[in-house]
Amino acid sequence: MSLLVGAFSTACVLAGVFFFVAGTAGLIRFPDTLSRVHALTKADNLGLGLIVLGLLPLAPGLGAALKLLLIWVLVVIGGATAAQLIGAAAARDEHAMPSPPSGGRGLGEGGVP
Amino acid sequence: MTATTPEGWLLVLALTLPAGAMLLAFVAGGRHAQRIALGALALWLVIAFAIALQVQRGGAPLAYLIGGWQPPLGMALRADGLSAAMLLTGAVVLLAVALFGRAPYATPRGAQETRAAYAYWCFLPALAASLAAAFLGGDLFNLFVALEMLTFTALALACLDGKPSQFKSELRYLLFALIGSVLYLLGAGLLYGAHGTLDIALLAGRTRADAPTLVAGALMTAGLIAKMALFPLHLWLPPAHAGAPAAASALLSGLVVKGAFVLLLRLWFWVLPAPVVLNGGTLLAALGAAAILIGSVVALRQERLKLLVAYSTVAQMGYLFLMFPLLAAGDAETASRAWLGGVLQAVSHALAKAAMFLGAGLIAASLGHDRVAALGGAARVMPITVIAFAMGGLSLMGLPPSGGFGAKWLLLRASVETGQWWWSLVILSGGLLTGGYVYRIVAAALAPPAPGCEARPVPRAQELCVLALALASILLGLVPLKDLGLVRVGAP
Amino acid sequence: MTGTDILALAACGLVAIGLYGLVAQAEVLRKIIAFNLLGAGVFLLFGVVARRGAGAGLAADPVPQAMVITGLVVAFAATALALVLTLRLYQITGAATVAEDPPEPTAPDS
Amino acid sequence: MTAGLLLDLLLALAVLGTAAWTLAARSQFAAVIGFVVTGLLLTLVWVRLGAVDVALTEAAIGAGATGVILLYVVARLRGGEAEISAATPSRAQRALAALLALSVGGALAYGVLSLPDPAPSLAEAALAGTAPLGLGNPVSAVLMAHRGLDTLLEAIVLVFAVLAVWSMAADHRWGGRPGPVFQREEHGPLSLLARILPPVGIVIGIYIAWVGADSPGGKFQGGTILAAMWVLPWIAGLVRPPSVTDWRLRLMIAIGPLTFLAVGLAGFVVAEGFLAYPPGFAKPLILLIEAAMTLSVAAALACLIAGPPERRRRA
């Protein structure tokens, strides 16, 4: 049983790491902002999700497991918002002539702990 | 082993009273801030006096263990003669400056709170709390926090006017001060790693001339002299101090730089092992000598009154470093003389320089400018201020009877007695150069007014504050030396 | 060489990098970032000291850890202050460095 | 052990690499990102050093809050190229700076590597001094009791800093609300986030502050999260910060150090002296101080992030 759980955890974490690597490669290799963000958020959310999934059976109790899930949910929310904001900013820059950003736009990550 | 002394609670009070007053002033704001600050500073003077009295009478340092925890795990507040003398000086200068600031930073009844007045009355007790922490702290890390408190307070006071030109020099000051704090902290980390404590009294028994201690000593010294603007790290000081409003300049030049000085003394004569002090002291004194000569010559050539006074601070801070080789080299009596001379220089400079900066501020406010060449007529409009300025100058020159004379005479004697006569040449030529720039100002102020010059009268109350500080710096020289034994209590 | 020694050398490296950036860069904002790198190096040194003092069942000596927590908060406050000064300087004068001004022309006062 | 050694080596190289990249970054924005990445890597280093409390603080304040204010200023700062290139040090000056940095770093390395072995430590003393207080986290015990004066002064420093930041405002802006005006976008992603995140974030912040007594966490880490939950709706334009002359805001900023000071002084009467806790009541008193401090840290950090008032006084 514990062997099975160990194998499941290892597999999930390895898969998660693979998605992280893939996402990072996309961030570096893709040509424009939108596809970069796309690669990053998709891969990171999935990657972190798999890592959390792999760690769940190893959690010492229900509380710890819930905390792990909460971390994943928060990162997904934060990542989605950041991606939206970056995407909107990129779209603005493409349509309008490049203009100095106004006020405090682009500070979306500010709220994520 | 430190133990709480019966009057140790006075030290807690000296720290918590201004801190609490600052917090209350911060919340209350407006007219209340001024009342709270003035009341707290007056009480603070009483406490500082009581501490000095206890130290002098008992002939032994006061101590207080915070929360009853014994160092190295806990922390202690300690007041020896040095702490007591500097605390008393700080209290006198702060109260005088606070009274001086009643006119420019008043909040009339029914008027809305203004930015400058609110910040001024909050930061005066804040400065008192910072000084108390710096003078009484017995733990090197706690002293780091005290240094940062001093930096923040000094910066805010200097920017009180909100003048655009001021932001750049203050930002430069802040960067210097931050490098200084970080280097100091770096050394503190090494000392903890090597000796397992940052308590000054415990470190005194544990340090040896090994690699971590030497590196830590060098880093901390470099950090502290950057904060004290010792030559060649002095360039930030003149614009930062000269550009600040008069009350702030007086506090910055008179008190804030002395916080780092007390820490440097603690580091060198308590923490570092004796051989280091013997060899390194000469280097510090050489830099100090350079500061005296170069600072004075540059001051002599300044066209602006406030810049001149600020460069004079660079020179006068140089004297403080002359005590280092003299203390280490001489016999007990010579060392004691050098110690007294150095501390007396710090005290008398604080009083005299505060008086001179306040005076310079009044002169600038009255004439509408501070060009030395066009000071004519100042003595007619505000004779008291010009006299007070000249009295402060006397103390800086080291002419009798003044506190500065006592300080420079003691240093001179110690330098001859230890056979390091070259320092006495520096002291004498520094005095001559100081005489030169003070004469320039006083002569210009005594000259008849230039045609078309209209000087506005200044409030008499403000003039009296300046006079009080200048008188204090002179009267210090009339106190018989044996009564200054306070400073020797707990000396290294 | 232990892992702690390696991290100790990393702390020294961070101090050197931060110090260089603080002295050699022109823009104030970059100086402030460099100050924070320097500070991170100093705190890391405290961390190494704490780790070396592990004992009594604790993974690290809690006293230097407490100092670092205090220090981090103080460093943040200093950074905030420096940044506000930078911003105000820029808003008023348009300057982004603290280089010496050209010598003031002796304009008539007031 | 070799795996741990390899991990330490990789982490050290990554930290130094990102730090160097931060200096070399072409734009200020990139430099800030480099700094934040360095900070996050440092968080891992802190875990490796067995200092989880510090790791949390580094992530929340060192990388997080510092990164936010850096970004905030970068977005509003556009330096003139000519001025910057005129102020850039010459090659010789940079070589001198490198020499200085290398000699300080080298001397430091020499000092660190010759630290005594076994190292002096207060771990045992601190652990022995933790149990009587009823706490389970020795770092919190050191912060709140053994070195309580440090923490008290640090709490006061935060008030100094807020006041100093406010006092940089232009005179006619006094009485206004801190920070610039943020436009409200009713259906933007930011305002969505600012609506759904704070309820969760506030719970997490309070939780982290609460568990600090016994496990890693505490007022500074939790307070930073609370500050973020307050700043987020400001930036989204959903709520407006209170005016700097509002005494309630000021009280919130000062209540932590005031409570700390009051409990400390009460020690003269009910315990052995200043900052001493009466036996048996140590933990409730410490929790009281921590609660007030969490509130103050949150308010102070939020005000430090927002900056001086930049809009007009209320009519």
Q: Tell me: the pLDDT tens digits for D27-71?
A: 899 999 999 999 999 999 999 999 999 999 999 998 989 999 999
Q: Which of B33, B91, B150 is nearest to D254 (CA)?
A: B33
Flag whether the pTM goes above 0.80.
yes
pLDDT tens for chain A, 113 residues: list them.
Answer: 588 888 999 999 999 999 888 888 888 888 888 888 888 877 788 889 999 999 998 888 888 999 999 999 998 888 888 888 888 888 877 665 444 444 333 333 333 33
Give the whole-angstrom CA distance, residue A104 versus residue D38.
Answer: 24
Give the whole-angstrom CA distance, residue B460 versus residue B472.
Answer: 18
Nearest-by-CA chain A residue for D78: A100
| Contact: chain A with chain C (3+ CB pairs below 8 Å) | no
Looking at the structure of chain A, the number of domains it has is: 1
Contact between B122 and B23 (Cβ < 8 Å): no
B245 secondary structure, DSSP code? -
D 127-156 near B (Cβ less than 8 A): 129, 142, 145-150, 153-154, 156
Residue D90's CB: how many other CB atoms inside 10 A?
Answer: 8
| DSSP string across B388-450 | HHHHHHHHHHT-SSSHHHHHHHHHHHHHHHTT-THHHHHHHHHHHHHHHHHHHHHHHHHSPPP
Q: Which residues contact B259 (CB under 8 A, 6 or more apart)?
A: B130, B131, B134, B135, B146, B147, B150
The tens digit of pLDDT for each residue in D83-95 reads 777 777 888 889 9
With CB atoms and an 8 Å threshold, state whether C98 touches B182.
Answer: no
Q: Which residues of D touch A88 (CB under 8 A)?
A: 188-189
Give residue B430's pLDDT. 94
- Nearest 10 degrees: CA dihedral of C38, D54, B74, B59? 20
Give residue B134's pLDDT. 97
**Between β-strands B76-79 and B62-65, what pairing exists: parallel, antiparallel or unpaired?**
antiparallel
Q: Closest partner residue to D225 among A81, A84, A113, by Cβ?
A: A113
Alpha helices (H) along B137-163: 140-158
Q: Is A110 inside a domain boundary?
A: no
Give residue C105's pLDDT. 44
Q: Which residues of D touch A77 (CB under 8 A)?
A: 193, 196-197
Locate A61 and state its tokens: 């109790």
Cα D56 to the center of its chain, rounded Å: 10
Give residue A100's pLDDT. 43
Task: Kindly provide the ipTM of the predicted complex, given to two decimals.
Answer: 0.93
Inform me whether the C-beta atom of residue D91 falls under 8 Å from chain C C-beta atoms. no
- Chain D closest CA to B309's CA: distance in Å? 26
Give the whole-angstrom CA distance, residue B95 versus residue B118.
Answer: 17
With CB atoms and an 8 Å threshold, state whether C97 touches D304.
Answer: no
Give the whole-angstrom CA distance, residue D59 versus residue B391.
Answer: 55
Distances A110 to B107, B224, C102, D121, D156 between C-alpha atoms, Å? 38, 36, 39, 38, 25
Q: Is A105 inside a domain boundary?
A: no
- Chain C closest CA to B402's CA: distance in Å? 36
Give the whole-angstrom CA distance, residue B306 versus residue B32.
Answer: 32
Inform me whether the C-beta atom of residue D275 falls under 8 Å from chain B C-beta atoms. yes
B64 secondary structure, DSSP code? E
Contact between B355 and B239 (Cβ < 8 Å): no
Above 70 in pLDDT, residue B160? yes
Give residue A20's pLDDT. 87
Give the whole-angstrom CA distance, residue D83 versus residue C99.
Answer: 9
Give the whole-angstrom CA distance, residue B353 versus residue B313.
Answer: 8
Give residue A58's pLDDT. 85
Give the whole-angstrom CA distance, residue B471 versus residue B491.
Answer: 27
- Chain D closest CA to A26's CA: distance in Å? 18
Lowest model confidence (mean pLDDT) among B347-351, B389-393, D210-214: D210-214
What are the residue ranges spanned by the domains of chain D? 1-75, 131-315
Instruction: Name residue B62's beta-bridge partners.
Output: B79
With CB atoms and an 8 Å threshold, state whether C85 touches B145.
Answer: no
Above 60 in pLDDT, residue B154? yes
Contact between B416 and B424 (Cβ < 8 Å): yes
The tens digit of pLDDT for each residue in D293-313 reads 999 999 999 999 998 988 765
Give residue B369's pLDDT. 86
Give residue A113's pLDDT. 34
With CB atoms and an 8 Å threshold, state whether C101 touches B73.
Answer: no
Give the whole-angstrom CA distance, residue D22 versus residue C12.
Answer: 17
Q: Which residues of D touch B148 (CB under 8 A)?
A: 157
Locate A94 and state its tokens: 């493409």
Locate B215 and state its tokens: 């590196």
With CB atoms and an 8 Å threshold, state whether A110 touches D231.
Answer: yes
Helix or strand run (H / E) with residue B76:
strand B76-79
Give the whole-angstrom CA distance, residue C45 versus residue C58.
Answer: 18
User: Residue C67: which CATH number?
Assistant: 1.10.287.3510
Q: Which residues contact B163 (CB under 8 A, 6 or more apart)?
A: B243
Give the whole-angstrom CA distance, residue B216 versus residue B273.
Answer: 12
With CB atoms and an 8 Å threshold, state whether D201 touches A111.
Answer: yes
Q: Is A26 inside a domain boundary?
A: yes
SS3 C62: helix
Q: Is A16 inside a domain boundary?
A: yes
pLDDT confidence band for B53 (50 / 70 / 90): very high
The tens digit of pLDDT for each residue in B407-424 reads 999 999 999 998 889 999
Give residue D80's pLDDT. 64
Q: Which residues of C touch D8 (CB under 8 A)?
A: 3-4, 6-7
Contact between B347 and B314 (Cβ < 8 Å): no
Q: How many CB pairs under 8 A join B and C?
A: 88
Locate B207 and state its tokens: 């340090």
- Chain C closest CA to D65's CA: distance in Å? 8
Higher pLDDT, A45 or B132: B132
What are the residue ranges spanned by the domains of chain B? 1-136, 139-272, 286-492
The tens digit of pLDDT for each residue in B308-351 reads 999 999 999 999 999 999 988 778 888 889 999 999 999 999 99
Cα D244 to the center of its chain, rounded Å: 21
Above 50 in pLDDT, residue D159? yes
Give residue C37's pLDDT. 96
Mutation site, D16, D40, D54, D219, interface C, largest C CB count within 10 A:
D54
Query: How much is the average pLDDT of D223-231?
Result: 93
Q: Is C107 inside a domain boundary?
A: no
With CB atoms and an 8 Å threshold, state whether C9 touches D109.
Answer: yes
Q: Detail the DSSP E strand segments found in B268-377.
A: none
Mutation site, D1, D46, D168, interface C, largest C CB count within 10 A:
D46
- Chain A closest CA to D165's CA: distance in Å? 18
- Chain B closest CA to D185's CA: distance in Å? 33
Give the whole-angstrom CA distance, residue C27 versus residue D32.
Answer: 13
Alpha helices (H) along chain C: 3-24, 28-52, 62-93
Q: Which residues of C touch D35 (CB under 8 A)?
A: 33, 36-37
A 26-65 near D (Cβ less than 8 A): none
pLDDT confidence band for D96 (50 / 70 / 90): very high
With CB atoms and an 8 Å threshold, state whether B119 touches D167.
Answer: yes
The tens digit of pLDDT for each residue in C62-110 reads 999 999 999 999 999 999 999 999 998 888 887 878 877 654 444 443 3
Give residue A86's pLDDT. 85
The domain in which residue A51 lies consists of 3-92
Give the whole-angstrom CA distance, residue C80 versus residue C66.
Answer: 22
